[in-house]
Amino acid sequence: MKFKQRVAIVTGAGSTRGIGREIVKIMAENQVKCVVADMNLEGARETARMVEEEYGVEALPLEVNVTDKESVGRMVEAAVEHFGRIDILCNNAGITQPVTTLDMTKEDFQKVLDVNLIGTFLCSQAVVPVMAKNHYGRIVNTSSVSGKRGGGVYGGSHYSAAKAGILGFAKALAREVVSDGITVNSVCPGAVATDIRAGISDEKEASIADGVPMGRVGTPREVAAAIAFLASDEASYITGEDIDVNGGSHMD
């Protein structure tokens, strides 16, 4: 993968076993400097410390709440002040909740929509003017197989709605910003063993793996690799697209 002296913001990158931390690692392997953004500042600091030690590449940990426009604005300002540019945004922060539609409150629905979908909108809106100045940008969203086929193994209908919303948002934004040299794409992971699925019993986990043609859940690294490709210089002729990373559990 080729990256030319790039700077990235990765949201949701403070989780110990998460996809975000793995994205930051692959970026650092490719000398991409990252803003490691998360609501969990201690986790973000740990991710930044880890990649600086392991790869000798600078990383800036920042606390952000992606549902809050002011907080997102402060993150983008701090990123530009520190690194002078933003080339890549990975909209990766997300939450889910195992609840059926009949048991769901309006507040549940709103919260899941806010973090996954509104957060993607707010972060994208904040970085586009910065990217447009350099006539270069890569926005990559972490959607989900749940957004395509419904019935996430762990998330509810609010999660499917939010993740499907991301795919529509990405296509519309891709058309708007194509003349600014910015691409907008998404990755749709299937089940991946991270903290977002904490609380799933071993039995349930095994039955999820049995339902995947490859017979196992994915690793954060496998998802992060697809995200990194779409964020790389080489993905220059791809926009408004999404890549399934799900071991064959859904194909379209």
Residues in the site for ligand NAD, rule: CB under 6 A?
11-12, 14-15, 18-20, 38-40, 43, 64-67, 92-96, 115, 119, 142, 144, 189, 191-192, 194-197
Query: Minimal distance in Å, beta carbon 179 to ligand NAD?
Result: 28
Q: Which is nearer to ligand NAD, 38 or 87 (CB)?
A: 38
In the complex, the smallest distance separating the C-beta of residue 153 from ligand NAD, rounded to whole angstroms, is: 8
Cβ proximity to ligand NAD: between 14 and 247 the closer is 14
Of 27 and 136, which CB lies nearer to ligand NAD in the complex structure?
A: 27
Point out the catalytic residue in the list 55, 136, 154, 159.
Answer: 159
Told to judge if 55 belongs to the known catalytic residues of this protein, a careful annotator would answer: no
Residue among 136 and 184 whose Cβ is closer to ligand NAD: 184
Cα(159)–Cα(4) distance, rounded to whole angstroms?
35
User: Minimum CB separation from ligand NAD for residue 39, in Å?
Assistant: 4
Amino acid letter, residue 153: V
Which C-beta is closer to ligand NAD: that of 56 or that of 199?
199
Query: Which residue sits closest to ligand NAD, CB atoms considered?
Result: 94
Q: Closest distance between ligand NAD and the C-beta of residue 72, in Å?
A: 9
Q: Give one DSSP letter per residue of the chain, joined into a string.
A: ----S-EEEEES---TT-HHHHHHHHHHHTT-EEEEEES-HHHHHHHHHHHHHHH---EEEEE--TT-HHHHHHHHHHHHHHHS---EEEE---------GGG--HHHHHHHHIIIIIHHHHHHHHHHHHHHHTT-EEEEEE--THHHHS--SS--HHHHHHHHHHHHHHHHHHHHHGGGTEEEEEEEE--B-SGGGTT--HHHHHHHHHTSTTSS-B-HHHHHHHHHHHHSTT-TT--S-EEEESTTS---
Smallest separation (angstroms) from ligand NAD to the CB of 172: 19
Residues with a known catalytic role:
159
